[in-house]
Structure 1
Amino acid sequence: MNTDNTLRRLLRLLQLSDSALPIGGFSFSNSLESAIDAGAVGDERSLEEYIDVAIGQTATLDCVVAREAMRAYHSGNYGKIVDLDHFLLARKINAEQRTMSLRMGRKLCELAATITADSITSRLSAEIASSRSPGTLAVVQGVVAASAEIEERELFASMIYGTTSMMLSAALRTMRITHIQTQRILYRIGLRIDTLYDESERLTLEECYTFSPQIDLHSAQHEKSAKRLFMN
């Protein structure tokens, strides 16, 4: 019998990355809807540029925190997981991104606690439900990935894919763009992911950052928009 866990780990990674995962990702556009309405995004090139900003934000903040949550899980330091949860929430500048992170994080933790027998995931889910831990998506992703024996580089790819696929799906519903164009964007982002990972991997928790005023501005506008297809 083959005892190598590679296939099982790969399947868990695909499951965690699946856009059909019932955690509400389809309900958010990560400010893209507002950017399209404002004319900042209107074609394949401008869409890719906007997504590049978003995944840069994911790489230099969320992925760093998720990595540290994985390491805290493996070292048995549950208190640090909760500290990281509060740390990340405090660094989510705009309300829309906080809402997105908390709703999806809570749903993912509930789901993982239900379908796995992992004690740390179950404990975190209970503490999120009782408001003792916020339940940010990146921290939950780090915990769930660690419990599934997913590696740090693999989780990074999953998180970048998640941000990209969420926004491409939103683009298909809000602007004139084809599936071929969105897949072309996803392919090109894949060509840049190693460089993005190297930048993220070098950052310590004290050095992680997010600087995307364009996204923050459109998120703020989305909160007050008279018409919305996506949640804010």
Structure 2
Amino acid sequence: MSDVRQLLTSLQFADSAFPSGFYTMSHGLEGYRQARLVSADGVQQLLADLLLHSVGPGDATALAAAHRAAADGDIELVQEVDQRLFASKLNAEMRTASVRSGHQLIDLGAELIDQGLLAEYGERVRLRSTPGCQPVAAAVVYAANGVATRQAVASDLFAFSASFVGAALRLRLTDHRQAQAILLQTSPVMEQVTEAALERNLTDLGGFAPMADVMSAQHERAEARLFAS
């Protein structure tokens, strides 16, 4: 695949209009907002912290490992990565949000491209042999479309960040202009997290963000919620 086509494919899957289910998620931000632990001037730092300590060691690392496995045609390793990632997610709503989004990606991916490993992975998810977490599903879809591992990881990190900032907009923690500033300020962190995920071993998969876990646990039992996570 040419560099231009890789770029276009990555832009399509990272677009906020792509129906991955990210629109229903705040990625923990609503919990912080409900607990009054984040204000408008703290959104960018919270996003950076989550990328460095949670998303990067967890989802991004899984995506990189699963993408390499998918590119090699190793469905067993893809499944192992999927199961490890699911087990690393401590909160029920984070697990549920990840698999719901993953299943949407698999279904749409199957409509867009006819590829053997993607079909096999989708069948294993259907049979509940593997959970179908969003980063692993994204890895398989990206690999099926010929997108390189680094490009796939960076694109998914941007999709997460854009979704997070979109949630901040709906929670009235930022405006449209500042949202773009937040994404630009966070781009060096996305680059750092991408490179770290590419170098990390599968045995090191899993983030450490205890406050985010606490906020998610509280959010699960909130009386009113705008977001699924």
TM-score by length of 2: 0.94
Distance (whole Å) between structure 1 residues aligned to residue 166 and residue 172 of structure 2: 10
- After superposition, residues 58-77 of structure 1 pair within 5 angstroms as 58-77=55-74
1:174-199 deviation per Cα after TM superposition (whole angstroms, max 9, x unaligned): 12421111111100111333332333
Q: How many residues align?
A: 228
> Out of 71, 79, 84, which is 2:81 matched to?
84
CA contact (8 A) 2:142 2:152 kept: yes
Distance (whole Å) between structure 2 residues aligned to residue 202 and residue 9 of structure 1: 22
Distance (whole Å) between structure 1 residues aligned to residue 51 and residue 67 of structure 2: 20
Consecutive unaligned residues of structure 1, counting only runs of 5 or more, are none
CA contact (8 A) 2:154 2:190 kept: yes
1:119 and 2:116 correspond? yes
| CA-atom RMSD in angstroms | 1.4
CA contact (8 A) 2:51 2:190 kept: no
> Out of 34, 37, 43, which is 1:47 matched to?
43
SS of 1:206's equivalent in the other structure is helix
Distance (whole Å) between structure 1 residues aligned to residue 147 and residue 205 of structure 2: 22
- 1:96 CA drift (Å): 1.6
Match of 1:34 in 2: 31
CA contact (8 A) 1:36 1:175 kept: no
Match of 2:101 in 1: 104
Match of 1:203 in 2: 200
Amino acid at match of 1:6: D
SS of 1:219's equivalent in the other structure is helix
Match of 2:162 in 1: 165
- 1:202 CA drift (Å): 2.5
Which consecutive aligned stretches of 4+ in structure 1 deviate over 3 angstroms post-superposition? none
Distance (whole Å) between structure 2 residues aligned to residue 70 and residue 196 of structure 1: 16
1:188 and 2:185 correspond? yes
SS of 1:62's equivalent in the other structure is helix
Match of 1:137 in 2: 134
Distance (whole Å) between structure 2 residues aligned to residue 97 and residue 53 of structure 1: 17
Bigger radius of gyration: 1
SS of 1:114's equivalent in the other structure is helix
- 1:62 CA drift (Å): 1.3
Distance (whole Å) between structure 1 residues aligned to residue 15 and residue 195 of structure 2: 24
- 1:141 CA drift (Å): 1.1
1:154 and 2:132 correspond? no
Amino acid at match of 2:10: L
TM-score by length of 1: 0.93
1:74-110 deviation per Cα after TM superposition (whole angstroms, max 9, x unaligned): 2221111111111110111111211111000010011
CA contact (8 A) 1:43 1:177 kept: yes
Amino acid at match of 2:44: E
Distance (whole Å) between structure 1 residues aligned to residue 149 and residue 123 of structure 2: 25
